Amino acid sequence: MRIIRACRELGIRTAALYSDADAGALHVRLADEAHPCGPAPARDSYLRGDRVVEIARHCGAEAIHPGYGFLSESGDFADACEAADLVFVGPPGDVIRAMGDKVTARRTMRAAGVPIVPGADERLEDGEVAERCEAIGYPVMVKASAGGGGRGLRVVRDAAELAKALPRARSEAASSFGDDGLYVEKWIENPRHVEIQVLADAHGGALQLFERECSIQRRHQKLVEEAPAPRMSPALRTAMGDAAITATKAIGYRSAGTFEFLVDAEGAFHFLEMNTRIQVEHAVTEQVTGVDLVQAMIRIAAGEPLELRQEDVRIEGHAIEARIYAENPDKKFLPSPGTITRWQEPEGPGVRVDTGVEAGSEVSVHYDPMLAKLVVWGRDREQALDRLARAADDFQVEGLHTSLAFHRRLVTHPLFRAGTYDTSFIPTHWPTT
């Protein structure tokens, strides 16, 4: 939906894909044309890169925008688009692969002089994992080298936990990414998760559009993001932005991308990973900078240089995004599939809702349960928080459980209101989740 609207403003026609489960989805109706791509399971439809390319060529498309899921971070799919004379709206395949493999990404960032979390810069066999953990010192993170999103990741506090965690981490990595490679990093206790948005063109131009705070997480999955980050000093903002630009140029990046960092209690930041795509939380950056990131991606893919200079980019006000999931926050965020019988979005000044559902939509078990992104903007953080509280109350959904109940409680919590939270917030204050 977001990409289609950006294209319409640019005068670009769109062709949507849909699985059998999505035949009645909003994006199918909004696009200029739509084409079936297979059965409900993603592996038989949206993840079939060959079929996506075939449909694109058949309908006469010039470019493919992969969104932020499924094939968006597949270097092989980017290569397949290029081979079919289709423009992939994203970075080159070799860059996606380099940043998608976490071990290679760590080596690249270290070589570029970007601070990284202490740990291994190579894939490790089980015996090597144990040796490296002893050398680094517990606690550590055992992580999938091909992974992301918290899958294939285990926090290990001693050798006994490691023996149990290794087979589980390898199994989860293999099932999620088709690759059971593991490496280890030092576990930083209670960090903040802060990321930097970048844009880069094919002419050597690169911009950083400041930071987003993403520390409200559950099992390494983000639930709330805001821009700018609370407790962000001008010196730290400059240092992190400079590091992101250095890294962007070092890898020859093109398109929109995000560098994710952990910020420790002393204020030092460490590279965590890079997302070589547009992110779910891009809306908060758009709200405070006025830059349409999706349109920028399309213009870059068309060969245009960046329109802005770094000194043109400013932070205006404060934006917060709440991800609304079909989950029950009172029962450990269990999925809540079903039919939406009522869908009433909030309105008013500073309120934006990005969604792909409506009343009557069927929320299946086949895909991610995110229903919408509730984004608010205010002249400062206090006004943004007040607007989030009001908008969350006004947002009415019936027919299934949603995470709105969680967001309504969160926005009144004193630590969240004060902006003094870190990644331990949910485990500490919602320990049953």
CA quadruple 170, 174, 175, 176: dihedral sign = positive
Element (H, E) at 366: none
- How many Å apart are CA 366 and CA 357, to the nearest integer? 15
Q: With beta carbons less than 8 A apart as the criterion, state whether 281 and 225 touch.
A: yes
Q: If we measure between CA atoms, which residue out of 116, 253, 249, 120 comes closest to residue 188?
A: 116
Cα dihedral 268, 426, 100, 181 sign: positive
Structure tokens at 185: 């990093």
Q: What single-letter amino acid sits at 400? A: L
SS3 (DSSP) at 430:
coil
Residue 357 token pair:
């559902």
Please give the backbone phi and psi of residue 107, each rounded to the nearest 5 degrees, phi first: -60, -45
Residues contacting residue 262 through CB under 8 Å, at least 6 positions apart:
117, 188, 191, 192, 193, 194, 269, 270, 272
Residue 215 and residue 211: Cα distance in Å, rounded? 12
Residue 4's contacts (CB-CB under 8 Å, 6 or more residues apart) are 14, 16, 27, 30, 31
Positive/negative CA dihedral, 58, 59, 64, 65: negative
**Catalytic residue status for 277:** yes
Q: What are phi and psi of 4, to 5 degrees?
A: -60, -45
CB-based contacts of 293, cutoff 8 Å, min separation 6:
197, 199, 209, 256, 278, 282, 285, 286
Q: How far apart are CA 328 and CA 330, in angstroms?
A: 5
Cα dist from 53 to 42, 49, 78, whole Å = 16, 6, 10
**Active-site pick, 48, 277, 323, 381:** 277
Tokens representing 96 are 């996606």
Question: Three-class SS of residue 245?
Answer: helix
Residues known to be catalytic: 277
